[in-house]
């Protein structure tokens, strides 16, 4: 059998990269301005599975030949504390700089210093390059003068930039996961560090579309009108048809159903295409075969979907009840009745679910789960409620 012409489960690059060329060109153009003092901080918005991480990985690949720009990628999802964020960020900055510049002298100086006792390091910081002293303070978790380790990690990139005449593109994927958990004070302090930097630009990416939109456009946000917005939409139907049709010979009714089931999400397009090609090859894909492939995809995603639902249940069982109800009901009044709560209490829960990207608002009083495949899985895992 030929190589399977679909990729999923990791960032996708050409020739599997679907319909994000204009966004990639725009991001690359903005990043290239950083060396001329034209740094632009960017908010990259898009629901989960719309290809944000693949877009960012392709951007990093495109920047590899620019000797003065050092991209640093950090996945913020699930980072437990500010201290862990700072230490991980410090390591990523150091490694990215050394990998890009091949500055082995810098690497060796750090390597020799980390072997020393903490007391020796602190007594000799005045003799070190500022960035190395900065890195070592991050490594030992030093908090001083009210400055936390995570703030020092951002300063570290700026200091290397000034010392070594390089620039950093700091990419923070799934930023809302930490911003929502750590609160407004963290976001304000993050903004305070970022706004004074000249050697770093930031791409803040997130699937919590409502939160990201508020971050840019809410007058109370520290980043109000301070971030350029790049939004990833779902794939247009014609693009999906073309991409899949070049790789699979699918009957017309099966292709229509494929479009409906995957909902324009690149991950599901790649994932279902992969399963179908692996099972049946390229030829003669009927509606029956498509449905079998879809069932396999649901089974494959079951553990991930259970973890998603469990995470909301841990916050409050009410969130889980609302999610289950939304698989069947769209009207707020029906959801409130189904979960046995006053209608007046529902908006607070809905606001949070929209902020984190789980729920979309179609219009006033009408909601739906953002992910069509998750919605189908939720339906199948429960008893059909009354109407």
263-313 residue pLDDT tens: 999 999 999 999 999 999 999 999 999 999 999 999 999 999 999 999 999
| Mean pLDDT, the chain, whole residue set | 92
21-231 matches 316-387 in fold = no
pLDDT score, position 146: 62
CB-neighbour burial class of residue 384 (10 A; exposed 0-12, middle 13-18, buried 19+): exposed
316 phi and psi, to 5 degrees? -175, 135
Lowest mean pLDDT segment, chosen from 69-73, 110-114, 174-178, 309-313 = 110-114
Query: How far is residue 204's CA from residue 322's CA, in Å, rounded to a whole number?
Result: 29
Tell me the domain boundaries of the chain.
21-231, 316-387
- Token readout for 102 is 């091949």
User: Could you report the per-residue pLDDT of 15-32, keeping only the tens digit for each?
Assistant: 888 889 999 999 999 999
User: In CATH, which of 1.10.8.60, 1.10.260.40, 3.40.50.300, 3.40.50.150 is domain 21-231?
Assistant: 3.40.50.300
pLDDT score, position 125: 64
> In the structure, what pLDDT confidence band is assigned to residue 141 with cuts at 50, 70 and 90?
confident
Share above pLDDT 90 across residues of the chain, in percent, rounded to a whole number: 81
Q: What is the CATH number of domain 316-387?
A: 1.10.10.10
pLDDT score, position 1: 46
Cβ(232)–Cβ(45) below 8 Å? yes
CB-neighbour burial class of residue 179 (10 A; exposed 0-12, middle 13-18, buried 19+): buried
User: Could you report the per-residue pLDDT of 335-359, keeping only the tens digit for each?
Assistant: 999 999 999 999 999 999 999 999 9
Query: How far is residue 137's CA from residue 279's CA, in Å, rounded to a whole number?
Result: 54
pLDDT score, position 16: 85
pLDDT score, position 140: 80
């Amino acid at each position: 059998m030929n190589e399977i012409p679909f990729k999923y489960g990791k960032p996708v690059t050409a020739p599997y990269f679907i319909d994000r060329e204009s966004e990639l060109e725009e991001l690359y153009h903005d990043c290239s301005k950083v060396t001329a003092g034209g740094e632009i901080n960017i908010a990259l918005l898009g629901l989960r599975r719309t290809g944000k991480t693949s877009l960012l990985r392709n951007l990093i690949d495109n920047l590899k030949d620019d000797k003065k720009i050092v991209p640093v990628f950090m996945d913020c999802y699930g980072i437990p504390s500010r201290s862990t964020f700072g230490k991980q960020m410090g390591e990523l900055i150091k490694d990215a700089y050394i990998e890009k510049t091949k500055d082995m002298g810098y690497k060796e100086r750090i390597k020799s210093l980390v072997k020393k006792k903490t007391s020796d390091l602190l007594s000799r910081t005045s003799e070190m390059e500022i960035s190395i002293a900065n890195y070592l303070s991050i490594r030992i978790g030093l908090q001083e003068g009210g400055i936390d380790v995570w703030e020092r990690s951002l300063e570290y990139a700026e200091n290397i930039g000034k010392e070594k005449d390089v620039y950093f593109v700091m990419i923070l994927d799934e930023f809302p996961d930490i911003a929502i958990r750590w609160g407004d004070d963290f976001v304000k302090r993050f903004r305070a560090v970022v706004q004074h930097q000249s050697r770093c630009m930031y791409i803040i990416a997130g699937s919590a579309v409502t939160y990201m939109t508020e971050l840019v456009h809410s007058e109370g946000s520290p980043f109000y009108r301070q971030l350029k917005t790049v939004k990833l939409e779902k794939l247009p139907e014609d693009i999906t048809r073309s991409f899949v049709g070049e790789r699979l010979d699918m009957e017309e009714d099966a292709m229509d159903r494929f479009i409906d089931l995957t909902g324009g999400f690149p991950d599901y397009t790649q994932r279902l295409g992969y399963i179908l090609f692996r099972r049946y090859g390229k030829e003669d894909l009927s509606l029956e075969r498509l449905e079998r492939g879809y069932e396999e995809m649901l089974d494959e995603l079951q553990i991930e979907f259970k973890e998603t639902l469990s995470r909301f249940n841990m916050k409050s069982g009410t969130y889980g009840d609302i999610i289950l109800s939304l698989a069947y009901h769209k009207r707020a009044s029906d959801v409130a009745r189904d979960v046995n709560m006053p209608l007046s209490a529902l908006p607070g829960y809905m606001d949070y679910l929209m902020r984190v990207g789980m729920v979309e608002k179609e219009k006033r009083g009408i909601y739906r789960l953002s992910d069509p495949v998750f919605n189908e899985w939720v339906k199948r895992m429960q008893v059909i409620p009354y109407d």
